[in-house]
Structure 1
Amino acid sequence: MRQVWKLLLLASCLTASFAAGAQDDQAPGQAHANKGASPRAELARQPPTLQNIYGRQPLSLNGRWSYIIDPYETGFYNYRRQPFDQSPTGAGGFYDDRKPKDKDDAVEYNFDGSPTLAVPGDWNSQAARLEFYEGTLWMRQKFNAAPKDGKRYFLYFGAVNYEAHVYLNGKKLGSHKGGFTPFQFEVTGRLLKGENTVVVKADNTRHQDDIPTVNTDWWNYGGITRDVLLAETPDTYIEDYQIQLAKGDMGRIEGHVQLAGARRAQDVTVSIAELGVKTTVRTDANGRAAVSIALPKNKVRYWSPEDPKLYNVTIAGATDTLNDRIGLRTIETRGHDILLNGKSVFLRGISLHDENPLIPGRLRGEGDMRMMLQWAKDMNCNYVRLAHYPHSEEMIKLADEMGLLVWAEVPVYWTISWEKPEVYANARQQLTDLVVRDKNRASVIIWSIGNETPVSPVRTEFMGKLADTVRSLDRTRLVGAALEVHRTGDVVTVEDPLADKIDLASFNQYAGWYWSNNKEMMKFSFKVNYNKPVLVTEFGADALGGYHADTDTKWSEEYQDQLYKNTFKLLDAIPGLRGMTPWVLTDFRSPRRPHPYFQDYWNRKGLISETGKKKQAFYTLKSYYEQKQQQYK
């Protein structure tokens, strides 16, 4: 059976030619709204995704969704390879959810008789015949609604991998590209009283001109992998806000509020009752107002891993009120130091994927996420690198609550089509969506613009513009990237023109695994040509949990453990070392890793195996971090 579906996978890759058009400089969180034009023209503007969507007590559309596998995209194109939803009537596709009119009406699909998948959740881990599938699935959910006059409604998706086309009651709402960022469509006036039907065409086919590109080292999980929500707002609502400490100023909050709707000019009050602070601002004709609040001296508990204090913040206008839990902290660099709330800190970190090693597939909810973050804390981490793409909003909020600093990243990964404007626009949009979504989360201290991108003039221009984008959106955090290194003899040099655009000398290195071995790696030394904090964003070795040998035998726990011990000695010799995120917390699935015994489509660099067993290097890293914790008290 698996071989059959591998053939279908190949067929779908060869025949799937549709891709949504290049994104222009759209509003944050924008999805492509359908206007009856060609797919490449679906560029009408949508509002930003709602800030703090969970604060609105939305209706969840999660649960069991019916699905139809469609490797030839029969439900989207007619036999002339023309999209049904671009026809004059917009009808004819699977999104119609049509039933036979009578006994001589042949309808070649049926959601009612189809199997179901759990949402949120990927399809690869839920059905054996979908394990290696890349292509199109149609997914349908029915729900009841009772829309009210004077209210607005938004259909929100936390993430769909990778390209989504969304239909409500047979009519297209629009499309979205990007497998890890949220998007929404306003459905005011389109909801029916009573039963409604939403259909999603989800396509996880990889393309060279997408972000990420065709070549990655993680499983390409397809489907609706995060929450689907229906949110209700007033006619004029709080669309966006930022409430954070001003850059370098622990005595003042600086930010903004943004309203959307007919009554955009009104008074808005921002208050933190526990601190006894309140300010009222007047939004302008565009619904925007700057916020500045002086904080009482010696009363603020600043957020940190040791004391992850969150304050209840209320934002109240004449037409809408929202509550959020926000931590107050500053982050900056000075020479080699990273200063959290003005104090030098060593980032005791670990990298991790959005994947549960124990229950196959993407992390599906708070329990999975809390388990992963608690494993990091068990290792004495104060910091996690959420690689190599945006993780869920719930994950970031848990990091806020549990006291873990966060490196947040977009999947500008390895070698992409640097020269194409539409590829840059896609990367820029995903980065913008990430920053806009998580800008109020104290745990996020670093926005990462990419991983292991090979140096070239066109790449450096591309990445430099991404760094400029981050700074235009948020001046209060650091900008990073996982740079590559260059070896000349025994010297490993960190020298990359992109370093001039970021705040950190951050790089990946694999001495002892991809180059050299445990016996020879100690001859290397590192040369870092920047007066910036040094973060080592990756190092590690594969080890099959439970496989034991000597320290010279690759794939053994002993080899991995010795590599960690050797690496600590090498890195501690770097004067500016201020943190690291070894690769990786847990074993994770990857089609690039086919060895039938040691890998079996798993990347085995985890410090915890797919059974939850802690490998020897877990305890070695924990001990090292205990020493660093004492050093930086």
Structure 2
Amino acid sequence: MTTRILLKLLLAALLLVGPFGAQPARAQSVLLQNAPGRRVLSLNGSWNYIIDPYENGFYDYRRMAFDQSKTGKGGYYDNQKPSSAQESELIEYDFDKSPAMQIPGDWNSQDPRLLYYEGTIWFKKSFSLKPQAGQRYFLYFGAINYEAHVYLNGKKLGMHKGGFTPIQYDITGLLSAGGDNFVVVKADNTRHPDAVPTINTDWWNYGGITRDVFIAATPATFITDYKVQLAKNDASKLNGYVQLSGAEKAGQAVTLSIREAGLKQTLKTDADGRATFSLPAKKLKLWSPQSPKLYAVSLSSGADAVQDNIGFRTIETRGQDILLNGKSIYLRGISMHDENPLIPGRARGEGDLRMLLTWAKELGCNYVRLAHYPHNETMLRLADEMGLLVWAEVPVYWTIAWENPATYQNAEAQLADLIAMEKNRASIVVWSVGNETPLGEPRLKFMTSLVRKARSLDDTRLLAAALELHRDGFRVNVDDPLGAELDLTSFNEYAGWYWGGSPSGITQYTFNIKYDKPVVVSEFGGDALAGYHGDAETRWSEEYQESLYRNQIKMLSAIPGLRGMTPWILADFRATRRQHPVYQNGFNRKGLISSTGVKKKAFYVLQDYYRQMAQQYDGK
């Protein structure tokens, strides 16, 4: 074998290897940018389901997967019916005679038998769609928790792991010519030590198809991806690209137009179907929380056209300052889960999400931390519209299997999908790679690799993680070596609740922060049962939480580089690990708003503080 051939083989091997070994093939096609903006057939609504704790619909009695057999037949995904009128054929399931639930929606809140269920449930939806010549079709799920196997008309499309990022498959050649089709999903929310997140979390493990499902149609050659954003730290230049997919993707004309700003340019795609651009952006009005300006951005090529509402802003740090559009800003924030506390289950749609963000605005926020996983795409578009800056996060939470290559690749894939999906949202100013991860060399390697991957995908936003801290008497040390890789010094601290005694004594703590960077406290807080009252020393009372917030603000205000906070949390949320029969009953009660929508006394403490900060930084 010649030296030249050896070098080629070595290069090919290196391209398949990341910091943790071989890169597994992706089980789905490249995500369509702005997929909900396409012409779609919604598959939301009633889906039949079968509870399958022994996974009889997936494995035979020898524990061999049916879809891995020679015939690929025998599983529930076949949606089999008797072949004879007498129904003498042995079939031990029937989707059409099984119960139904609403999709999107978790199963825990829709069937009393499934409140704590972890395992496999099969879902089936029949639909009518006749494929048209010259069209391509993509089946799109906003999210399925956690491991999903997806089948169309009995044929497996693929498998996806991760409960909060989209799943997409090209189904162009698999649709029935007659128009009668069915899709079957095996959803499994079983927790695993090597998964992302891992076994132990402080939120409810909602199972099922939890976000929108639809089929998007495109021309044969179509716009699959685009980025239209200001250049890094440069409000005078609009940079980006448009990516075509299809047999005729090379040498095609692509037109970018922002009519309101008088911007228009026609480009030619290269051999890979990509066209890059750089335009003067002086006529663009910048997006900000005070003025969340969005422009109708149009992209077209041949028979395809896409429109997106996009805002333009810059974000950077300078010393201990955070600069939005070149001006120092204080991040008046709150943490949030993707859950409506008033109705059991995951947030079901725009109404739930708009309510949560409206509460944040009423609190005085210009910023929200969407913890601890990628939130609904609709939430980010609402944040753009309503003028709320966003911290977006992946579920690298607590203790991950740091030395497992597959776990790293899973985390990186979720991070890459989050950035790919939301890179055009002006509201997102922070990508976070994790929450409260413990010190150690394997963890540092894992987390550092995620940070560097994020920078390689998007260098225009800030990188952060919610770090742990360590105490030495009344001295609180923030010295995690991962901080050297990050743009913000962000950490969670629970003085007055998990440590530090009662709220009245926590102001004696001081912070020793290693890094000369802006400090954004990513969590603090304590539980209060709405309507339970006592004095400021009575744990679980509204008065205790109120005192905790007053003293937290005093303690944290002594940090010279403090430039924001996202206390934990906007509203009470369901958490299996919270067992106290009087004060918790399956809820984490750290919310400033109760599970019945009542604002607790601490809400108004934070609201008053944020009014002061708005006056100091925004002059209003």
TM over 0.5: yes
Could you give the per-residue CA deviations for residues 334-363 of structure 1, whole angstroms, max 9, x where no partner exists?
001000000000000000000110011001
User: CA offset at residue 518 of structure 1?
Assistant: 1.5
The aligned counterpart of 1:209 is 194
Q: Is 1:274 aligned to residue 260 of structure 2?
A: yes
The aligned counterpart of 2:465 is 481
The aligned counterpart of 1:544 is 529
The aligned counterpart of 1:63 is 45
CA distance in structure 1 between the aligned counterparts of 2:17 and 2:608, rounded to whole angstroms: 47
The aligned counterpart of 2:4 is none
Deviates more, 1:142-151 or 1:430-439: 142-151
User: CA offset at residue 25 of structure 1?
Assistant: 6.8
Picking from 332, 345, 348, the partner of 2:332 is 348
Residue pairs, 1:21-170, within 5 angstroms: 43=25, 46-101=28-83, 102-170=86-154
Give, as a single letter, the amino acid of the residue that structure 2 aligns with 1:117.
Answer: M
Change (3 A) 1:208 1:459: same
Give, as a single letter, the amino acid of the residue that structure 1 aligns with 2:340.
Answer: N
Aligned length: 596
Picking from 211, 215, 221, the partner of 1:226 is 211
Query: What secondary structure is seen at the aligned counterpart in 2 of 1:609?
Result: coil
Unaligned runs of 5+ in 2: 1-14
User: CA offset at residue 464 of structure 1?
Assistant: 0.4
User: CA offset at residue 533 of structure 1?
Assistant: 0.4
Residue pairs, 1:338-417, within 5 angstroms: 338-417=322-401
Give, as a single letter, the amino acid of the residue that structure 1 aligns with 2:66.
Answer: F
Alignment RMSD:
1.5
Does the CA contact (< 8 Å) of 1:561 and 1:620 recur in 2?
yes
Q: Is 1:283 aligned to residue 265 of structure 2?
A: no
Picking from 227, 230, 239, the partner of 1:242 is 227
User: CA offset at residue 220 of structure 1?
Assistant: 0.3
User: CA offset at residue 42 of structure 1?
Assistant: 8.7
CA distance in structure 2 between the aligned counterparts of 1:324 and 1:518, rounded to whole angstroms: 47
Residue pairs, 1:465-614, within 5 angstroms: 465-516=449-500, 517-614=502-599
User: CA offset at residue 45 of structure 1?
Assistant: 5.9
User: CA offset at residue 321 of structure 1?
Assistant: 1.2
CA distance in structure 2 between the aligned counterparts of 1:81 and 1:548, rounded to whole angstroms: 56
Does the CA contact (< 8 Å) of 1:26 and 1:45 recur in 2?
no
Query: What secondary structure is seen at the aligned counterpart in 2 of 1:58?
Result: strand
The aligned counterpart of 2:3 is none
CA distance in structure 1 between the aligned counterparts of 2:54 and 2:128, rounded to whole angstroms: 32
Could you give the per-residue CA deviations for residues 554-594 of structure 1, whole angstroms, max 9, x where no partner exists?
10000000000000001100000000000000000001101
CA distance in structure 1 between the aligned counterparts of 2:61 and 2:87, rounded to whole angstroms: 24
User: CA offset at residue 530 of structure 1?
Assistant: 1.1
CA distance in structure 2 between the aligned counterparts of 1:570 and 1:127, rounded to whole angstroms: 46
The aligned counterpart of 2:406 is 422
Give, as a single letter, the amino acid of the residue that structure 2 aligns with 1:518.
Answer: P
Picking from 252, 262, 267, the partner of 2:247 is 262
Query: What secondary structure is seen at the aligned counterpart in 2 of 1:138?
Result: strand
Does the CA contact (< 8 Å) of 1:111 and 1:140 recur in 2?
yes
Picking from 423, 434, 437, the partner of 2:421 is 437
Could you give the per-residue CA deviations for residues 415-435 of structure 1, whole angstroms, max 9, x where no partner exists?
110001111000000000000
Give, as a single letter, the amino acid of the residue that structure 2 aligns with 1:93.
Answer: G
CA distance in structure 1 between the aligned counterparts of 2:303 and 2:318, rounded to whole angstroms: 44
- TM norm structure 1: 0.93
Change (3 A) 1:550 1:96: same
Could you give the per-residue CA deviations for residues 207-253 of structure 1, whole angstroms, max 9, x where no partner exists?
00000000000000000000111010111110100000001111111
The aligned counterpart of 2:437 is 453
CA distance in structure 2 between the aligned counterparts of 1:457 and 1:44, rounded to whole angstroms: 28
CA distance in structure 2 between the aligned counterparts of 1:26 and 1:594, rounded to whole angstroms: 44
The aligned counterpart of 2:8 is none
User: CA offset at residue 103 of structure 1?
Assistant: 3.4
CA distance in structure 1 between the aligned counterparts of 2:112 and 2:483, rounded to whole angstroms: 45
Could you give the per-residue CA deviations for residues 14-58 of structure 1, whole angstroms, max 9, x where no partner exists?
xxxxxxxxxx9799xxxxxxxxxxxx9994664311000122121
Give, as a single letter, the amino acid of the residue that structure 2 aligns with 1:487.
Answer: R
CA distance in structure 1 between the aligned counterparts of 2:345 and 2:303, rounded to whole angstroms: 41
CA distance in structure 2 between the aligned counterparts of 1:163 and 1:204, rounded to whole angstroms: 7
Does the CA contact (< 8 Å) of 2:143 and 2:209 recur in 1?
yes
User: CA offset at residue 332 of structure 1?
Assistant: 0.3
CA distance in structure 2 between the aligned counterparts of 1:194 and 1:130, rounded to whole angstroms: 34
- TM norm structure 2: 0.95
Could you give the per-residue CA deviations for residues 379-411 of structure 1, whole angstroms, max 9, x where no partner exists?
010000000000011110000001100000000
Change (3 A) 1:276 1:26: farther
CA distance in structure 1 between the aligned counterparts of 2:126 and 2:341, rounded to whole angstroms: 31
CA distance in structure 2 between the aligned counterparts of 1:340 and 1:166, rounded to whole angstroms: 42
CA distance in structure 2 between the aligned counterparts of 1:355 and 1:525, rounded to whole angstroms: 35
CA distance in structure 1 between the aligned counterparts of 2:513 and 2:202, rounded to whole angstroms: 27
Identity %: 62
User: CA offset at residue 112 of structure 1?
Assistant: 1.1
Change (3 A) 1:177 1:577: same
Deviates more, 1:212-221 or 1:97-106: 97-106
Unaligned runs of 5+ in 1: 1-23, 28-39
